[in-house]
Amino acid sequence: MYKNIKLLAVLLLFVVSMVPYSALADDDQGTIDNININRIEIDDFENANGEYGPFYAGERIHVKVHWNALGDNWSAFDAQITVELEDIEDETKEFTVRPGWEDTESFVINLPIDIDADTYTLAIEIEDEEGNKEVLQDIKLEVVQRKHYVEIYDVNFPFGLEVNAGQTFFTSVGVKNLGHEDEEDIKVSLTIPALGLYQRTGKFDLFTEDYVKDESNDDDDEWKDYKELFVTIPANTVSGVYDVIIKVDYDDGDESEELRYSLVVGQGTAPADDLISIDKSTQTFAQGSGAVYTVMFPENADYTVEVDGIGSWGSVIIDENEGQAYVFVSADEDATSGSYPFTVKVKAGSSIVRTFDLTANVTQFAESPVTDIKEGLQIGFAILLIILIILGIILAAKKIGKSDNYEETLMDEGETYY
C-alpha cells in the first residue's frame, strides 16, 4: 500500500508540474486534485519525491488520475496520456479538454512475474492533437521479487497420464519460493474432481532463494522441494478422460497456483460388458448395400470409435452421439461374396478401452431374400399350371371315350335280323 501511495504521489507531481501546451492559455494550468491507486484515495502530494518502491514482480498496479480544467483561461484541445515502463505500456484513448471540464484517466501496469529485480524508469508522456509530445518527468521505480510467490516449476508423472481403473496414479510436484519473504505452512495437493479424489501433503516451509545464497548454503531444499502424491482410481470407474488439478497453497492460504492436466482412465477390473456393448456381432447384406452396428456406452464417457479391416472390400461411416456410436458398414458393388471380419475399437484418448471382433456376410445381389421368394412363387405357379393342363387333358380324354362307347351301345340295341 505504501509503495502505491508513493507512485500516485509521483504521478500527481508530474502532471501538476506540466508546462501547458500551445493549446492551453499561457497563464493558466490544469489541476490534479485526486489520484486513486488500487482503490486507495490520495490527495496529499507535497512530499512526493525521490526513488520509489518496492514494487513486486507479478503485481498489477491500477492508477486513476483525476484532472480538471476549472481555470478561466483554458482553451479546448484533444490530448492523450501514455505511461511506459521498459516494454510495458498503457495509454488513454484521445480525450477532449475544455474549460470547466473534469474527468478521470485510468492506467494499468502489469509487472511480469519473471521480471528481474532492479531499478526501472517509468516515463509519462502527454501528446496533443497536433502531435506535440513532451515527457513530463521520469520516475525511478525499485522492482523486487514478489512478496509472496511459490511457483510450481516442475510436474512429473512417472507412469504417464494413462491409468486403468483400480490402479494407482502417481505424480511428483516441484515447487520453489520465488517470493521476497520466507513461506510457512505450504501445501501441495492433487485433485480429480469428477471422481471425488483428493490428496495433499503435510505443511512445510521454504526459505527465499536470497536467504539461502546469503547463508552460502548449497542445499536447494531450503528454497525448493519435490513432493510425491498419489491416488487410487476406483475399480468401477467408467473409462474416459478426467481433469487432474495440481495446486499449491501458501501465504496462510490466501495465495495459490494451480496447473491442470488430462488423465485417461482405461478399462480396469470392472466388467466392461456392463459399460460398453454392441447390438450385433454379425450381419448379412448384399453387394452395394450395408448394415448398421450400434455401439452403446455411458453418456458421460468421452469415447471415440475407430474401425479397422474394411478398406479392401467396403467402406464405413461413424456417427458418434452421447452414449452411442453408429457404425454403418457397406460393401462395394463388386465385392466378392463371403464373410469378412473387421474390428471396432472404443478409445479414451489414445488408450483402447474395448474391442469388438465383428463379421459382415456379403451376398450377391440376386441372392437376396426378396429375389428368392419371387423366383419360388414363379416356379410354383408354373408347376401348378402344368398340372392343371395335364388334368384337363386327362378329363377331356375320358369324356371322349365315354361318348364313343355310348354310340356303339345304341347301334347294337337297334339292330333287327330277319
pLDDT digits (tens, 9 = 90+) for 259-290: 999 999 987 655 555 678 899 999 999 999 99
Residue boundaries of the structural domains of the chain: 2-144, 150-266, 272-363
pLDDT for 235 equals: 82
* pLDDT tens digits for range 162-220: 999 889 999 999 999 888 788 889 999 999 999 999 999 999 999 887 655 555 555 55
CATH 3.30.70.890 fits 2-144, yes or no: no
Q: What is the DSSP string of 307-318?
A: EES-TTTEEEEE
159 within 8 A of 263, measured Cβ to Cβ: no
**Rounded Cα gap, residues 135 and 181, in angstroms:** 36
In three-state secondary structure terms, 397 is helix
One fold for both 2-144 and 272-363? Answer: yes
Let me know: does 217 contact 186? Beta carbons within 8 Å.
no
Q: What's the grid cell of residue 140? A: 525511478
Edge-to-edge strand order for the sheet containing 224-232?
150-156, 168-177, 224-232
Q: How far apart are CA 9 and CA 43, in angstroms?
A: 8
Sign of CA dihedral 201, 204, 207, 213: negative
Give the model's pLDDT for residue 249.
94
Identify the CATH assignment for 272-363 out of 1.20.1530.20, 3.40.50.800, 2.60.40.4140, 3.40.50.410.
Answer: 2.60.40.4140
Tens of pLDDT, residues 101-153: 888 888 888 888 778 888 887 777 777 777 776 665 556 777 877 778 888 99
Q: How far apart are CA 267 and CA 276, in angstroms?
A: 10
SS3 233: coil
pLDDT, tens digit, 9 for 90 and up, residues 298-323: 776 667 899 999 988 999 999 988 77
| Maximum separation of any 2 CA atoms in the chain, in Å | 181
Q: What cell does 296 get?
A: 452403446
Whole-prediction pTM value?
0.43
127 near 88, Cβ under 8 Å?
A: no
Average pLDDT, the chain: 77
85: pLDDT strictly greater than 50: yes
Q: Is the pLDDT of residue 351 over 50?
A: yes
Paired residues of 305 in beta bridges? 346
Contact 191, 245 (CB under 8 A): yes
> Do you know the residue count of the chain?
418
Domain 150-266 has CATH 1.10.287.70: no
* Percentage of residues in the chain having pLDDT higher than 70: 70
For 323-384, give the DSSP string. TEEEEEEEE-TTPPSEEEEEEEEEEETTEEEEEEEEEEEEE-GGGSHHHHHHHHHHHHHHHH
The 3-class SS string of 78-122 reads EEEEEEEECCEEEECCCEEECCCCEEEEEEEEECCCCCCCEEEEE
